[in-house]
C-alpha cells in the first residue's frame, strides 16, 4: 500500500490525487493539516530524500527565522523535527512511500517519473 503525504488543497497534491484516481491506484492519505508526522517518519524522509525534503520555495519556509533555517540545514534531526512538527507545510509535497506491484516506491514531488513507475 502506498501512503501519500501532503496537504489536501495543494495544487501539486491535487495532480497527484487525480493521477492515482485516474489510474486506479490505491493509496492512503496522510494530511499534514490533520495529523502530526512522527519523528521516525521525518527521519525516514530525510534519509531517503536528503535536503530535498524541505520546500524552500514555499511561504512556510520563508517565514521561518534564520535560526530555524540553520537548524533545518544542520545535522541534528531531533532539533529539525521540533521545527517540522509545528510547521509541516515546510515539507515538500507530495511524498509517496510504500509498495506498488511488489516494488518499494519513494517519490518526492510530482513529475514524469510517476508515469514510468506506475504504468
Catalytic residue list contains 23: no
The DSSP secondary structure of 19-76, one letter per residue, reads HHHHTT--EEEEETTTSPPPHHHHHHHHHHHGGGGB-TTSHHHHHS-HHHHHHHHSS-
Exactly one of 4, 10, 13, 91 is catalytic; name it. Answer: 10
State the burial class of residue 16 (Cβ atoms within 10 Å of its Cβ: 0-12, 13-18, 19+).
buried
Active site residues: 10
Amino acid at each position: 500500500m502506498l501512503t501519500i503525504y501532503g496537504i489536501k488543497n495543494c495544487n501539486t497534491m491535487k495532480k497527484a490525487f487525480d493521477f492515482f484516481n485516474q489510474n486506479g491506484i490505491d493509496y492512503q492519505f496522510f494530511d499534514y493539516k490533520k495529523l502530526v508526522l512522527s519523528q521516525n517518519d521525518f527521519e525516514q524522509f530525510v534519509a531517503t530524500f536528503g535536503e530535498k525534503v524541505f520546500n524552500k520555495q514555499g511561504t512556510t519556509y520563508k517565514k521561518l527565522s534564520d535560526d530555524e533555517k540553520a537548524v533545518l540545514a544542520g545535522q541534528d534531526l531531533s532539533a529539525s523535527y521540533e521545527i517540522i512538527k509545528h510547521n509541516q507545510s515546510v515539507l515538500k509535497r507530495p511524498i509517496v512511500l510504500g509498495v506498488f506491484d511488489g516494488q518499494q516506491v519513494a517519490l518526492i514531488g510530482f513529475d514524469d517519473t510517476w508515469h514510468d513507475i506506475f504504468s
